[in-house]
Amino acid sequence: MKKSLLAGIFLLTTLLPASAQNLLQDGGFENTKTYDYANNKSTGELPRISALGKLGSNTETNNPVMEAETVVPGSWYRKSANSGYNHGKIVTDDYAEGEKALNLSITAGSTTTKLDTWDNNTAIQYVTIDRTKQYVLKFKAKNLVGNYPVFAGMSVGGGYEVSGSNWVTLSSNWEEYTVIIDPTQHQASDTHYSDGDFQKSGVVFGNRTEYDENNKSLESSILIDDVRLYEKGTEPEEGNVKDFIINGNFETGEPNTSIVTGTDKWGDFVGKWALVIKDKSTGTGSITTEEVHNGSQALKVELTNISARYHFFLTQELQNLTPGEYTFALWMKASKADIPFRVDFSIDDDNIDVVKSAQTTAAEWTRYEIKVDLSDKTSEDLSTLRIRIRPNCTSSGSVKNEAVTYYIDDISFTSASSEEEKPDEGEQKEFITNGDFEYCNP
């Protein structure tokens, strides 16, 4: 490794609090050494390895053309067949931070088999992990072509996935994703998970595709940047963005635990999820591992009958927010597309929805984002904020009574403190009375 790179890493490391140690090097791909692919034409390819268990062995010398080098921890490699159809390269035209990102791609027309799996066009950085600890893998990514999920996680030995590693659905915008890796699920006596296998552990990102009717690959291309790995519990707070939702990723709670709290519309919903079902409405709501967007758990809401929007809703109450602009987001996948649902927000411990947002379901994981402008409210107004997700609710507030199963994950309610602007001195604060408030049941 070059001295300058080592010095840079040392400086970065010393600036971070000891409790938030990123275990990876060059997670932003700013200092990744790349190679010419052919004819000395630089295409920024990562060095290639022929299998994931190659720590300590040599890199391949073709595709990209390079001298054989020893595979070491702390550098990025690409595992794939020696095929001109598979790429893992550093690009400079689109990135989440710095000036570079990693582009994993499969071009159209390859007859190479198994490109629909995670481990045949894969970026890896070897890093030692402890089988008694859990890890948090954070990264930013976006889909470019093909809309295939990325496999994000860790592998050991010759490419056996560590528990928690998962397919992550990407959108066409840069977004941050989190995967919890849990080596404690594997015993040293388990085949492929011996202590020796754990010495060849690494963070992996697997790019996949599908085949057309002639068994030729379809194009697939994704970008990855800002990759970090922490021991669980030591990950830093997110920059200036604070998320007020508790357990928005549903990783807390045992699988199959019900969150149905009964029929009380005014129950204690502070800092926890509750599904209120009453009168003629029927259904279930529970932590699930069946379908997840991120991590290993999500929320499954099965609605079998609904009599009114306030007889079946998912809710969490937030408290003591400060006036400002907020962003609510959630990921959802439903058993039926084009079913209406609403996300409503009320404040001041009353039943007025100050923001109502009508949406429709999709059959694939989809991100919904709702701007919630509370900048004209007072701190007293914001002593409580009730978020209500109303399945099958139309924009008018009536319900479409049709059985639907909803999978929900990664709910957030964030404020970007860096974007907060204090009013200039002398500026009058406006207190707007909104005559359009709807007085109704929650």
Radius of gyration of the chain (CA): 24
Report the distance separating Cα 322 and Cα 201, nearest Å: 44
Which whole-number Å values give the CA distances from 379 to 290, 383, 435, in the listed order?
A: 40, 6, 20
In the complex, least distance from residue 319 CB atom to Ca ion, rounded to whole angstroms: 24
In the complex, least distance from residue 298 CB atom to Ca ion, rounded to whole angstroms: 5
Q: Based on CB atoms, which residue is closest to Ca ion, 19 or 92?
A: 92
Q: Based on CB atoms, which residue is closest to Ca ion, 291 or 381?
A: 291
Report the distance separating Cα 64 and Cα 273, nearest Å: 50
In the complex, least distance from residue 236 CB atom to Ca ion, rounded to whole angstroms: 18
Contacts of 209 (CB under 8 A, 6+ apart): 106, 115, 116, 146, 148, 217, 218, 219, 220
Q: Based on CB atoms, which residue is closest to Ca ion, 100 or 138?
A: 100
In the complex, least distance from residue 63 CB atom to Ca ion, rounded to whole angstroms: 24
In the complex, least distance from residue 435 CB atom to Ca ion, rounded to whole angstroms: 40
Would you tell me which residues interact with Ca ion (CB under 5 A)? 28-29, 95, 97-98, 100, 225, 249-250, 294-295, 298, 409
Q: Based on CB atoms, which residue is closest to Ca ion, 161 or 409?
A: 409
User: Hey, is 55 helix, strand or coil?
Assistant: coil
For 377-398, give the DSSP string: S-TTGGGEEEEEEEETB-TTS-
Q: Based on CB atoms, which residue is closest to Ca ion, 94 or 210?
A: 94
416: β partners:
241
Contacts of 391 (CB under 8 A, 6+ apart): 301, 303, 306, 312, 313, 314, 339, 341, 404, 406
Q: Based on CB atoms, which residue is closest to Ca ion, 294 or 315?
A: 294
Q: Which of 350, 345, 393 is nearest to 372 (CA)?
A: 345
In the complex, least distance from residue 320 CB atom to Ca ion, rounded to whole angstroms: 26
